[in-house]
Structure 1
Amino acid sequence: MKNLFLFFGMLFASLSLFAQDAYQFTEVIDLEATPVISQGRTGTCWSFSTSSFLESEIMRITGKQIDLSEMYTVRNTYPKKAENFVMRQGKAQFSEGGLAHDVINSVADYGLVPQEAFSGLFVNEESHNHAEMVAVLSAMVDTYVENPGKKLSKKWRNAVDAVLDVYLGKNLNTFMYEGKQYTPDSFRNMTKIEPKDYLTITSFTHAPFYKQFILNIPDNWSYGRMYNVPLDEMMNTIDNALQKGFTVELDCDVSERTFSSKDGVAVIPKDSENDIKALQGLYPEMNITQEYRQDEFENFDTTDDHLMHITGVLHDQNGTKYYKVKNSWGNDETRTANGGYVYFSEAYMRLKTISIMVHKDALPKNTANKLSL
């Protein structure tokens, strides 16, 4: 009997310890964002996340909640990808991927439209699946690079457009929204989004700090330039933005086993033996330095995988900071936690962030001054 009491005592202590160590989050900052949606079977997280970011910007600037069309941006970006790939004779990236600045470039060149005007879906289609479209487009641009006729036809650009018309829909010139007629440009102007006001920040030591440079990652097919700052300043930029009411667009690595949409957390345990356990409970995390971050990037252990949208800050029961990050994998409770959000520990954010995009007014003053902005 004594042994039985001892057994139950140890069991109760273990359960109490587990309960004490299980995550308990308290929201500190929770900024406005549109509902979580799914990008479906596409590689267009760059458009979904940056559209979500712009939706929050529209709410911040105008107070209006508008569901923007992700596929309008995708529809207008593919011809640019094809042009880049063919004119570089296949020595470039042609894929579904992209970065936040591709959306901003599209907004500048082609305006914005609401989801109800251009969904990219046809009758009886409920979710996006671009597998066939991408296979067709890839085969086409490969053929144009091979140039089997020994003289590239001027029709190839029209052929790419025709395929996009078939799979996503014809481009828009005008549309109705809330009883008023708009063009994509006039709709962008109505939202008060100014593309020139958004900039990308990163932090790597192979380029000079406080300068712009082109980060050589596969999805930077459009050779977008980023401002380079020390790691602490990049993190301060995220914090300053959120504290001032600005959300933040995020490009990051989600290939780690310590990132889990199902568990709703992303962490960097100090001891790798705790990688799986740390998805459900508190364990000590690594101290992420600039040097370690750089080594992980140059070893390809940190890669450009996924774009998401930072909308807030939380603390766990020990007061440790986490970032509330909106994903675009839907909000099915059987596959995702936190309503489709993932809570990034500060260590994970320091190590696995490739870049961030913010409104220029979200920059800390000292950083803006160093960047001459």
Structure 2
Amino acid sequence: MRTLIISCALAFASVSAFAQGYQFTEVVKLPATPVKNQAATGTCWCFATTSFMESELLRMGKGTYDLSEMFIVRQKYMNQLQDNYLRGGNGNIGQGSLSHTFMNAYKQVGIVPEEVYTGINYNSDKHNHSEMVRFMSAIADVAVKSKQRSPQYYELINNLFDTYLGKVPEKFTYNGKEYTPKSFAAFLGLDMDNYIELTSFTHHPYYQKFDVEVPDNWEHSFMYNLPLDEMMETVDYALNNGFTVCWDGDVSEKGFSFQNGVAINPEVKKVEDLSDTDRARFEKLDEKGRLEEVFKFERPYPEINVTPEVRQQGYEAFVTTDDHLMHLTGITKDQNGTKYYITKNSWGTERHKFGGYLNMSESFVRAKTIYVMVHKDAIPKALKAKLGIN
């Protein structure tokens, strides 16, 4: 994920207004923990997946937990350093990753509550990894050029993370009981093998797994490839049956307006559905201006009909890119009956009037999704059978 240094957030009423002209009525709203702020880090992958797992604990009746993102992030950096060294310095040691990175680290080291490991051991009230990752890259580079990882290398790396993130606790007390990170993970009862990543692209066979070609898939995890309609059917089935969805996709488009609390996929040349007032304004603007004005019209703006071919074209032209992970927690509809997905972000609440959430339209999600992750029981039974998932 790109490092997106923005703050944000949202509490939906039964009917809520976002950008001018957009009125939303909730259809499904599932429980989620409070919005957090990844701040000056590229760790949306961990914030989104952690939020998803916290909602899983709520769904399972386990109660409300605030889990430590940075405990997982630290192990992820260690795993990247190992991979990068063995690839002769050609690995990815950037801040981004995908949902399976959380799952792999969780299996390795367990998890701790946020109060046990905040991951901020420097003079700041918010996360900032910019300096730390530069030091990390320098240490990694020396090891690769030396063609060895000396005892001092390991000491430097561990001291670096201890300095910025804090020392990892061997044991801790939570609600009056002593745990290790692994015993706390066992207590929570989350089984990482229950979670499935699904994607949809035409350059690989459907109903088979493939290694999605995005830089943040540095672990080369394989995802199930579905027809677009079936991927979207799974998202809807999950949300309508009490399961939230972890989402990865492109947020670089003009149609993604966190400021306005809406993400749409506008058909910038379509005018017949506009009011007379909006059409007059529209015809005076060039295409760039139209993209900037779509949220100011009197009612929702017409959107693109996204086919698998349209989606694939965006991916292969590098227009649809792997930018950001977020957490889908519900479904809403605008006054025209268009479906949107209630989306929890990780850019905080301080500078955003919608509580850290936004509504992403169905057209936007069809076009701009890289992959989604769901519990295997959130996949329709017929589709599970096609994929051979028990």
* Alignment TM-score, normalising by the size of structure 1: 0.91
Q: Separation in 1 of the partners of 2:293 and 2:338?
A: 18
Q: Separation in 1 of the partners of 2:348 and 2:224?
A: 31
Secondary structure of the structure 2 residue equivalent to 1:62: coil
**Pair 1:357-2:338 in alignment:** no
Secondary structure of the structure 2 residue equivalent to 1:181: strand
**Pair 1:143-2:142 in alignment:** yes
Letter in 2 for 1:354: I
Corresponding position of 1:211: 208
After superposition, the Cα gap between the structure-2 partners of 1:207 and 1:66, relative to the gap in structure 1 and judged at 3 Å, is same
Letter in 1 for 2:133: V
Q: How does 1:1-373 map to 2 (within 5 A)?
A: 22-122=21-121, 125-147=124-146, 152-271=149-268, 273=287, 274-281=290-297, 282-332=300-350, 335-373=351-389
Q: Separation in 2 of the partners of 1:261 and 1:246?
A: 24
Q: Separation in 1 of the partners of 2:176 and 2:295?
A: 48
Secondary structure of the structure 2 residue equivalent to 1:279: helix
Q: Deviations over 1:129-169 (max 9, x none)?
A: 1110011101111222222xx65535423322221111111
Q: Which has the higher contact order (CA 8 A, sep 6+)?
A: 2
Q: Separation in 2 of the partners of 1:236 and 1:155?
A: 52
Corresponding position of 1:12: none
- Structure 1 position 276, deviation (Å): 2.1
Letter in 2 for 1:185: K
Secondary structure of the structure 1 residue equivalent to 2:363: helix
Q: Deviations over 1:163-192 (max 9, x none)?
A: 111111111221111111111112112212
- Structure 1 position 97, deviation (Å): 0.4
Deviates more, 1:160-169 or 1:48-57: 160-169
Q: Separation in 2 of the partners of 1:227 and 1:339?
A: 33
Q: Separation in 1 of the partners of 2:56 and 2:177?
A: 22
Corresponding position of 1:4: none
Corresponding position of 1:3: none
Q: Deviations over 1:40-62 (max 9, x none)?
A: 10000011110000000011112
Q: Separation in 2 of the partners of 1:363 and 1:323?
A: 17
Q: Which runs of 4+ in 1 moved over 6 A?
A: none
- Structure 1 position 325, deviation (Å): 0.6
After superposition, the Cα gap between the structure-2 partners of 1:20 and 1:78, relative to the gap in structure 1 and judged at 3 Å, is closer
Q: Separation in 2 of the partners of 1:191 and 1:121?
A: 24
- Structure 1 position 279, deviation (Å): 2.7
Deviates more, 1:105-114 or 1:152-161: 152-161
After superposition, the Cα gap between the structure-2 partners of 1:339 and 1:152, relative to the gap in structure 1 and judged at 3 Å, is closer
Q: Separation in 1 of the partners of 2:352 and 2:341?
A: 17
- Structure 1 position 346, deviation (Å): 0.3
Q: Separation in 2 of the partners of 1:155 and 1:225?
A: 35
Letter in 2 for 1:187: F
After superposition, the Cα gap between the structure-2 partners of 1:186 and 1:153, relative to the gap in structure 1 and judged at 3 Å, is closer
Q: Separation in 1 of the partners of 2:106 and 2:216?
A: 19
* Alignment TM-score, normalising by the size of structure 2: 0.87
Q: Separation in 2 of the partners of 1:359 and 1:97?
A: 23
Residues 202, 229 of structure 1: 8 Å contact kept: yes
Deviates more, 1:120-129 or 1:320-329: 120-129
Residues 263, 280 of structure 1: 8 Å contact kept: no
* Corresponding pairs, count: 351
Letter in 2 for 1:331: T
Letter in 2 for 1:294: Q
Secondary structure of the structure 1 residue equivalent to 2:31: coil
Letter in 1 for 2:364: Y
Letter in 2 for 1:194: D
Letter in 1 for 2:100: H
Deviates more, 1:269-278 or 1:302-311: 269-278
Larger proportion of helix: 1
Secondary structure of the structure 1 residue equivalent to 2:60: helix
Residues 261, 337 of structure 1: 8 Å contact kept: no
Q: Separation in 1 of the partners of 2:148 and 2:31?
A: 53
Structure 2 unaligned blocks of 5 or more? 1-17, 270-286
Q: Separation in 1 of the partners of 2:34 and 2:105?
A: 23
Structure 1 unaligned blocks of 5 or more? 1-18
- Structure 1 position 364, deviation (Å): 0.9
Residues 23, 280 of structure 1: 8 Å contact kept: no
After superposition, the Cα gap between the structure-2 partners of 1:70 and 1:300, relative to the gap in structure 1 and judged at 3 Å, is same
Identity %: 47
Secondary structure of the structure 2 residue equivalent to 1:144: helix
